[in-house]
Structures are given as C-alpha cells and as structure tokens.
Amino acid sequence: MLTTNPFDDDKLREECGIFGIWGADNAASFVALGLHALQHRGQEAAGIVSFDGHNYHAHRAMGHVAGNFDRDDIMRKLSGKVGIGHVRYSTTGETAMRNVQPLFAELSEGGFAVAHNGNLSNAMTLRAALNRRGSIFQSTSDTEVIIHLVATSSYSTTLDRLTDALGQVEGAYSLLCLTPDGLVACRDPLGIRPLVMGKLGEATIFASESVALDVIGATYLRDIEPGEMVIVNEAGIRSFRPFAPAKPRPCIFEHVYFSRPDSIVDGTSVYEVRKNIGAELAREAPIEADYVVPVPDSGVPAAIGFSQESGIPFELGIIRSHYVGRTFIQPTQEVRHLGVKLKHNANSALIQGKRIVLIDDSIVRGTTSVKIVQMMRDAGAKEVHMRIASPPTRHSCFYGVNTPERSKLIASQMSVEKMARYINADSLAFISIDGLYRALGDKRDGANPQRCDACFTGEYPTTLTDCDADGKPRPLSLVASR
C-alpha cells in the first residue's frame, strides 16, 4: 500500500474533533460545517446526533464530512435545533462503525448522546467492573464507559449522574453531551484537550477549535475552563465546577501541529506561535544556507519565522500535490520499488546546487525524514540542514493522541547526532523545551509545568491505571480491586 501522505504518515495524530450547537434551526447543518472545519482532527469517520425536542436523530459514516453530511436526505433526517458531532481518527476494520461517535443510548430518563475528544486512562478497569455487574458494551470505545456509569448511577438528575460518572474516570476529556435536559459541555480538570465556546445570533456553540466558529460566521466567546461543566437549555447557560480544583495542563502539541494555524488556542494565535518557534529555532540553531524550505504544509509558518529571523530567503523547494489526503494503493510490484512521489515532489530547478534548510514540525519515526532529505539530495542540493519546530518526541501519549509504541519513536532510541546521520542530514536541530515555552510567551516551570508536555518529557499529569508509561497493560485483576 502506498499513500499519498508519505510524510504525514510520520505525524502524531489528534484522535478527535467535536462540535455542538444549541438553539439554531437545522442545527445539524451548522454541525456539519463545523466538523468540516475540524476535519484535520480526524479523517476516518464522522457522526452527528440531533434532537428535535422529542426524538434523537443520528447518522454516522466512515470517511470525511464532505461526501457524507452534505446529502439532502441525510441532513433532512437530522432535524432539530440542537446537535452535536464528532470527527474521528483511528479504529479501522469491521468493528469501526459501532465506535463512531457520538455514541447514543436510551437511558431510563431519556436519550443520551456523547461526543468525546480525549482518552480515559482507566477505561479498561472500569469496563471490567461494569461488565461484571451486567452492563453490556456495544463498542470498544473508552467513551462508552461514561455512558454506563451514567446509566447505573444512583443519582437522579442528568447533571448529577454525569458528575458522578466523571468523578470515576481519569485522563483527558472534552465532552459534549446531548440530553433531554440540555446540551452539556465539559472539560476535564486539567483541561488537557481544548474546547471553546461561541455565539451565533441566539445560538450557543462549542467546538474543539475557534476555526470552526469562523467557518460558520460565529463569534468566539471564551474557552471552556479546565474542570468546568456548562449546560445550555431553555433556562439559559449555567456553569458548574463539580470537580476538585487542579492546576491546568493543556496539551502543548496543539500549538506544534494539531490545531489549524488560523485557530486561537488558549488565547494565542497558532500561526504566530509557529512563526515564533521558527524564529527561536533560527536563534537556537543558526546555519548558513541559500534557502529556507518548508516541508509542506505544516512546516510553512515556522519556515517563514525562520526565514524572517535569519534573513535566508523562503522558497518552495518541495511542491505538494493538491490531490492527496487519501490512500493510494500501489497497484503492482513493478512500481513499488520506485521512489514514488505522489504527494511531494522536489522543485529541482530551484534546489540544484543550493544549500537548503528544511523546516518540519516534528519527527516521530524518522522514516519519512529519510526520504525527504534524499529527495533534496536527488534534486541536487549541495547541503541539507534539518530544523524541527518541536523537541524530540520521546514518549507515548495516553490522552487522545495516536502515538506509535515508544520503541518506534526514533528520539527515544537515538541521540540527535545519531538521528542526523540516520536521516543523512548535514545538520539536525530540534527546538529546546524551554524555547518552545518561550515561543508561547511562557517560562517553563520545571517543577510544575504549565502544559502537558509528556510526549517530550515523560511527565504525565495523571496516574495511568490501565497501563504503564511504556503502554504495557497492567493486569486487570490487580487494578480492578483498587
């Protein structure tokens, strides 16, 4: 199999984006547009659940939002003034559909739909206990644990039952729940995954990123705060703080790669942060060269920052095909050995005989850095220097980001010098963790970091019940008895 994403393959992947709206006619239409704007957060499946005051309407599909949620027959079905939606990266194969969110259940008090961005680090343990008590799971999703905890809670109101349920889970969650009592938005006490709130006329909107507000012409109001639960219904908007207070630890990688450059995350422009990172890199690891060349498209803002700080001209040395984003099964053996350049191609006329600084956002496995450096050399580059807009990625994420197992992370196996030789670059440098915080306008508090930077530092902000930091599952019988 050959993909048109040869270089994107070596990225960490956000697992989800969520979007919800309360109080707009044809709510599902806005959800569809909002999800489309969040498509970069999950491309494998999408789903929408709407509520018309009496009935819930759901549609889920493998694939992109466009092509599924732009069909008249489907959108007409999703009637009502309230809706939530979800885009998902991950599970494949036959069991996929039952894991596509929003999940929905008929509870005794009425319907309950949930869209979840994040990952629970004690889901397996809770699931085993629920299963023993007779709860029947329909998916393999950690999110379903939340539903069964709500269903079997001894509290009576929906909010109390949800609070009871969330009190038992650990990990990362930005949640949107559709209930007969209203639309509930909630962010875990550390605020690991983002969630913003906006307004369009009378309608209230929640989304993973502000860009989804832009796309439908809505106004950004504020971030949902870590540990905050907001309910919107006919009585208005109410905010709760049902959990013990904690120092927030929002994910730093949202700035490095996940979020769109035109989003505002934690009150900061993602584009500006990335340009700052590029400038920091130019100061931390300067180099003499003819051109600054971004690995498109994610390396572009940092490359502009690097170019402006260093004075080295910014040039498109790699051209990206517009027709990518999907898998291209390599037809036959005959073409498999070719260095096929379906997604990226060197701009040879430019590169020939020149010294190049390549700017990329991260190195995960390193496999594709090897190819891209080689592509530059094949095009005649005299020198190829690589600068990376994040620190070395050395640890797995357990909070909703798809990371390869630790041993596959090249930076956990090699020194930077060895990596430089491995990818055959004339020089290689990563921004420092402190440099990264500086680009964000912070000074990193080593004892108590202001962000979750566990993928770089291994400092996990929560306990890890289901598995250890290497991702090895803990025996269930032991943990279950805690």
Find the binding residues for a second copy in span 290-309 (CB under 8 A).
297, 300-301, 304, 308
Told to check if 105 binds a second copy by CB under 8 A, we report yes
Question: How far is Cα 33 from Cα 216, in angstroms, rounded to an integer?
Answer: 7
Nearer to a second copy, 327 or 415 (CB): 327
Using CB under 8 A as the binding rule, the residues of this chain from 207 to 226 that contact a second copy are: 211, 214-217
Residue 287 binds to a second copy (criterion: CB under 8 A) = no
DSSP 452: B
Distance CA 162, CA 153 (A): 8
Assign 84 to helix, strand or coil. Answer: strand
Residues in 141-200 at the binding interface with a second copy, rule: CB under 8 A: 147-148, 151-153
Closest separation between CB of residue 461 and a second copy, Å?
Answer: 28
Rounded to whole angstroms, how far apart are CA atoms 84 and 195? Answer: 13
- 108 near a second copy (CB under 8 A): yes
Of the pair 240, 328, the CB lying nearest a second copy is at 328
Residue 479 sits in the site that holds a second copy (CB under 8 A): no
List beta partners, residue 84.
20, 49
Q: Is 174 annotated as a binding residue?
A: no
Smallest separation, CB 463 to a second copy (Å): 25
Within positions 82 to 101, which residues make up the interface with a second copy, using CB under 8 A? 94
467 labeled part of a ligand binding site: no
Answer for the pair 453, 477: CB distance below 8 angstroms, yes or no.
no
Region near a second copy per CB under 8 A, out of 65-73, 427-435, 452-460, 467-475: 65-73
Choosing from 314, 399, 437, 460, the residue that interacts with a second copy (CB under 8 A) is 314
Three-state DSSP class for 75? helix
CA 405 to CA 357: how far, in whole Å?
Answer: 30
Which of the residues 16, 177, 186, 467 is marked catalytic? 16
Rounded Cα gap, residues 320 and 322, in angstroms: 6
- Kindly state whether residue 313 participates in binding a second copy, applying the rule CB under 8 A: yes
Question: Would the annotation count 361 as a binding residue?
Answer: yes
Contact yes or no for 40/377 (Cβ under 8 A):
no
The DSSP secondary structure of 301-366, one letter per residue, reads HHHHHHHHHH-PPB---EEE-SS-SSEE----HHHHTS---SSEEE-HHHHTT-EEEEEES--SSS
Residues 66-85 that bind a second copy (CB under 8 A): 66-67, 69-72, 75, 77
Indicate the residue among 40 and 88 with the shorter CB distance to a second copy. Answer: 40
- Inter-residue contact 285 to 312 (CB < 8 Å): no
Q: What is the enclosing helix (H) or strand (E) of 462?
A: none
What is the enclosing helix (H) or strand (E) of 158? helix 158-166
Q: Which of residues 3-62 bind a second copy (CB under 8 A)?
A: 4, 24-26, 28-30, 32-33, 36-37, 39-40, 43
Size of residue set near a second copy by CB under 8 A: 90
82 beta partners: 22, 51
> Between 161 and 444, whose beta carbon lies closer to a second copy?
161
Rounded to a whole number of angstroms, the minimum distance from the CB of residue 139 to a second copy is: 10
Closest separation in Å from C-beta 430 to a second copy: 23
- Contact range with a second copy by CB under 8 A, out of 227-235, 250-258, 322-330, 463-471: 322-330
99 burial (CB, 10 Å; 0-12 / 13-18 / 19+) is buried
Q: Phi/psi at 74 (nearest 5 deg)?
A: -70, -45
Residue 8 labeled ligand binder: no
Look up 467 and say whether it is catalytic.
no
Closest to 174 (Cα-Cα) out of 223, 115, 233: 115
List Cα–Cα distances, 295 to 108, 190, 339, 422, in angstroms: 53, 33, 17, 18
Position 481 contacts a second copy (CB under 8 A)? no
| φ and ψ at residue 176, rounded to 5 degrees | -125, 125
Closest to a second copy by CB, 135 vs 413, is 135
Q: Which residues are annotated as a binding site for [4Fe-4S] cluster?
A: 251, 397, 452, 455
Q: Which residues are annotated as a binding site?
A: 251, 298, 360-361, 397, 452, 455
Active site residues: 16
Q: Which residues are annotated as a binding site for Mg(2+)?
A: 298, 360-361
